[in-house]
Chain A
C-alpha cells in the first residue's frame, strides 16, 4: 500500500450517517425503548463496603401489591469457574454473577444485593425498602497497599495468589502476580551513569460516560428472549447473559441501542441478566435504568495504582535499564489490567534490559471495568514521569531523550513480538518541531511532554453487504458505533465498490441478523470490522463481475471493475454497479457480500502530547493553557473522527490528572457520586486541544489503519503531571493534581 495513494472517500470529512438522528433527538438510546405491559426493575444496594449478609428476606417486598418479581443471587444458573470474553479482557463467570447480585458477602458500597420489578418505578423503589437484609459489617480494605498487608482482612477466603513459584496455602487479597522481562536489569543499572527512581500513585477514576446503563428486556413463554441495551458489545452481552441464565445463544436476541459513551465501561453486564430473570419470573417486559449514583457506585471504574519505577541511563542519554513494580486495584473481584500495565509501561523505549512485575489486588471498591487503553495510563504515567525526571537530571531535552531511545521497527517488546513499522519517532519529531514546543512560557507556567503506547486489537468481526436492485446497499455490521465508525465503514465500502457514499447505509445489526462480532473496544472497530467491510465489499465486486460476465457471455476473468463500473475486456461493453444489480434477478438472484474474519495484525498506535499549564500559587488552581495531541493513525479514514478520538482521549486523561478521583469515607462509603463532585472537565475548563495526525501505515490493513481510540488517554497523565511539576518547580508523584494537593506542593516548596 503506497502512502500517497489517491482515494475518493478515505480521508474525506463526510457527513456522519447517524448525525441527523442524534441532533434531532430521534436516536434511541438504552432507556428509550418501552414495551406494552412493561414493568420497572430497581436494585437494592449495599450501604456497606464490606459485610457478610447474614439474612436476606424478600417476602415482604414480594407480597407488596404491584410487585411482580424479585431477583437474588441464587436465581442465576449454576455457573462454572470459567473465563469469558468481556471487552478487552475476560471475566470469570462466578465473579460476574457475584458482582451483579451479591452472593453471601457484599464487597463494596453500592454492591447489588437484590432487585425488584413492580408496575411503576415508584412502587419498585418502595418495595426495595421492604427487603430485609442483615449484615455483619467487616472492616473495609480500601487501598491495594492496605490489602497486601499481612494482617489485612481478606475479601475472598478462597482466593490464593497465583503466579508465585509456589501457590500459598493462606488466602490473600493478592489475586495474581505477573512478570515480564528482557535482558538483565541489574547489569543494565550497573552500566548506568544516572539513575532515577520514584513511586507514583493514581486514583480510582470512572469512565464518566454520560448515558447511564439502561436496558429493556423480554422473556417469552416459549423461552425466546430479547435484550435491548446500551453496550459496546451486544454479542458479548448475549454470551454472558446466556451463561448466567443457562440459555442457548439462539434463544437470546440482543439489540444494541445507540450509545452515549462507554470508554470500555460498557463491555460487561450489570442489570441485563437481572432484568431478564425478573422478566422470566413476572412474564412481563422489564426495564431497568441506573441513575448516576448507581453508575458511579457499581459500574466502571478503573484501577487505582501504586507504581514504583527505576530507570538507568548513560550520560549521553542511552537508557540501559528500566524496572517497575506495578500494583493495581482490581476492585472487589480479581482482574485488574495490571498485566497490560506491565506490557505497556516501557514499550515506547528500545532498551535491552527491562523488568516489570505486577500485582492484581482486590479491595472493597467496585470491580474495575475496561477504561480506554485499560491498564496503560497508570503504568505509563509512572514510567513517563520518571523519564522526564531522567531528562532533567541529564540536562537533556525530554523529546531528544525519547528520540534517542525510541521504539521503532525491529524493537523487541517486553511482551514478546518485535515491532513492525510504528510511528513513534514521527510523532516525537512532530512534537519537537511544533510551534507549540518552541513557544515561550510565562511565570507560574510549566510544560510537560509524554508519550503513550497501546497495542490495539483485531479479533472477530462479521459483516454482510446486501445490495438492492437499484444499486444501493446496506452494510450490516455488528460493532456498536461509539465514535463515528458507521461513517468509516460507509467510506471504506464506498471506496472498494466505487459507488457514491450515500448509496450505502451502514447499520449495526442485532445478534440474530449477523454472526458473532466482538464488541467495540481495543480500538478494533475501524481496523477489524473495517477489514470485514472491505472483505464483504470485495465479495460484492467479485459477484458483480460474475454477474456482468454472465450477461455478456464471457468469463469473470474477462471482466474488469473500477469506479463502480464493470468493463468487458473482450469487447466494448460496460455496466454500472446499479445496472448489474437491477438485472440480478436474471443472473441468479440478489447479491450479498460477506466478510467473516478474525483479524490479526492490529497496528500499535503511539501518541505524544505536549501540555502547558499554569498554576495559581495562592490557590493551587491549575489551568491547562495549551495542549497538543499527536498520534499515529496509520491512515485516518475520517480525519474529524480521528481528531475527535485524540481530543477525547486527551480530555479524559487531563481530567484523570487534575480532578477526577473516588473519595471514600473511612468506612469505605463513596462520598462523591454524581458529576458535581466527581469532576470531569467541562468544556470551558480546557483550551482547544490541537491535534496532529501522523500517518505511518499499518501494513496489515488494506488502507493502513491503526486503531486510534485509546492511546490518546495515556500521555496526558504524565504530560500534565510534568507541566505542573515544572510550573511549581517541584516533583509530582501523585494524582489527581486537585487544588488542595497543588497548593500543598507550592507551600512545601516554599
Chain B
C-alpha cells in the first residue's frame, strides 16, 4: 500500500461515507501506529487514509452508572491518565499502558488496538474480561458486537470495509469486582505479548467468587473468552486449587503456534501462569 490520499472528516457519518464512496482501497486511521507500518509494505496499491482524530466523539469518554463509553481513537496516553476509569477498570488501563512506549502511546489508541485485531493485542483480553461491546456504524446504521465475537482471525474482524468502530461500551461492574491484565514478554517493554491474560472477578462479602471472566491473548488466532477458566474460579475463594484449575483450563483452551516468539508448549504453560497471577491481582483489588 502507498498512501495516495488523506481525508480528515469531522463526523463519524462523514467518515463512513468517505469509506463507502472511496475510489481506491480506504482505511481509517486512529493513531496510525499499526496502519503506517502496514502501509509501507511492498505493494504499491494506492491507499486513502481517513483520519479519525479530528472527530471529537471518537476521542471522548463518559463514565456513568451504566459503565464506560469510550471514543475508540482516544490515545492511550490520555486513556491511561483517566483516574476515574482506572479506578473501575484497572486491568484495562494497565493493558493500554503496556502498548509500546511513552512515545507510541501518544498516538496509539484502544480502538486501533482492537481493530488491528492482532492475536497479541494487549487491550483485547482485558476488554473481553470486562465484557466490552463494540458499537459499529456503517451505511445502514449501527450494530453492537461483543469484543470476543468482533475479532475473527489473525488481523481480521467483523467490520465491513465501510464500517467504523465508533464506541467501545463496557458495563459498570457489579460491586466487589476488579480486573487485572498481565502479559509475558522476554523484555520489559517495546515487545509483543508471547501470551496475555485479562481476568475480572466478582467477590461477595466473604470473599467467594460469584462471577468471573477470563480473556486470553497471543495463544490462538484471536484473543478469546475462556468460560471454563472462569467456571473454575466461580464458587471458590480463589484458593490454589481453583487457580490451578483456571490455569489448566486456559492452557487447554489455548491453541498457540510455535514461532520466533515462543513455542506451543511454552505459550500454553505461560498463559495458565498469567491467568493464575492475574486472578490473584484482581482478587486483591476486589478486596482492596
Contacts and interface: CB of A to CB of B under 8 A. Distances in A.
Contacts of B44: 122, 126
B116 to A, nearest CB: 15
Interface string B29-72: 00000000000001010000000000000000000000000000
B186 interface: yes
A676 interface: yes
A620 B274 CA distance: 13
Given A684-B189, A739-B266, A740-B266, A677 B261 contact: yes
Nearest to B258: A740
A59 to B, nearest CB: 22
A685 interface: yes
A404 interface: no
A204 to B, nearest CB: 13
A90 B186 CA distance: 37
A740 B189 contact: no
A416 B190 CA distance: 47
Interface in B185-221: 186-192, 194
Given A619-B270, A619-B273, A743-B269, A682 B188 contact: yes
A685 B191 CA distance: 11
Interface string B113-124: 000000000000
Contacts of B263: 740
B187 A659 contact: yes
A529 to B, nearest CB: 36
Given A619-B270, A743-B269, A677 B260 contact: yes
A681 B187 contact: yes
A740 B262 contact: yes
A461 to B, nearest CB: 39
B184 interface: yes
Interface in B240-272: 259-263, 265-266, 269-270
Contacts of A405: none
Contact of B188 (A126, A685, A738): A685
B186 A676 contact: no
Contacts of B194: 739
Interface in A702-750: 738-740, 743
B187 A679 contact: yes
Question: A interface, by DSSP: helix, strand, loop or mixed?
Answer: loop
Contact of B259 (A659, A671, A676): A671
Contacts of B261: 677
A672 interface: yes
Contacts of A671: 259-260
B284 to A, nearest CB: 18
A94 interface: no
Contacts of B262: 739-740
B260 A682 contact: no
Contacts of B266: 620, 739-740, 743
A170 B232 CA distance: 65
Contacts of B189: 682, 684
A679 B263 CA distance: 16
A672 B260 contact: yes
Interface in A592-637: 618-621
A663 interface: yes
A621 B262 CA distance: 12
A629 to B, nearest CB: 21
Contact of B184 (A122, A621, A677): A621
A682 B190 contact: yes
Interface string A665-679: 000000110011101
Contacts of A684: 187-189
A677 B188 CA distance: 13
A686 to B, nearest CB: 9
Nearest to A673: B260
A605 B266 CA distance: 41
Contact of A676 (B2, B42, B191, B269): B191
A715 to B, nearest CB: 22
Interface string A97-129: 000000000000000000000000010011000
A604 B2 CA distance: 54
Contacts of B187: 659, 679, 681-682, 684-685
A202 B2 CA distance: 41
Contacts of A620: 266
A738 B194 CA distance: 12
Contacts of B2: 122
A659 B188 contact: no
A149 to B, nearest CB: 25
Query: Which of B186, B188, B191, B270 has the most chain A CB atoms closer than 10 A to its own CB?
Result: B186
Contact of A618 (B42, B190, B192, B273): B273
A671 B258 CA distance: 12
A609 to B, nearest CB: 21
Interface string A301-326: 00000000000000000000000000
Contacts of B265: 740
A126 B186 CA distance: 37
A282 B192 CA distance: 44
Interface in B128-184: 184
Query: Which of B2, B187, B259, B269 has the most chain A CB atoms closer than 10 A to its own CB?
Result: B187
A536 B186 CA distance: 50
Contact of A619 (B184, B191, B192, B260): B184
Nearest to A738: B186
A619 B272 CA distance: 10
Interface of B: 2, 42, 44, 184, 186-192, 194, 259-263, 265-266, 269-270, 273
15 contacts: A619-B184, A619-B270, A620-B266, A621-B184, A658-B186, A671-B259, A671-B260, A679-B187, A679-B191, A681-B187, A682-B187, A739-B194, A739-B262, A739-B266, A743-B269
Interface of A: 122, 125-126, 618-621, 658-659, 663, 671-672, 675-677, 679, 681-682, 684-685, 738-740, 743
Given A122-B2, A619-B270, 9 more contacts: A621-B184, A659-B186, A671-B260, A682-B188, A738-B186, A739-B266, A740-B265, A743-B266, A743-B269
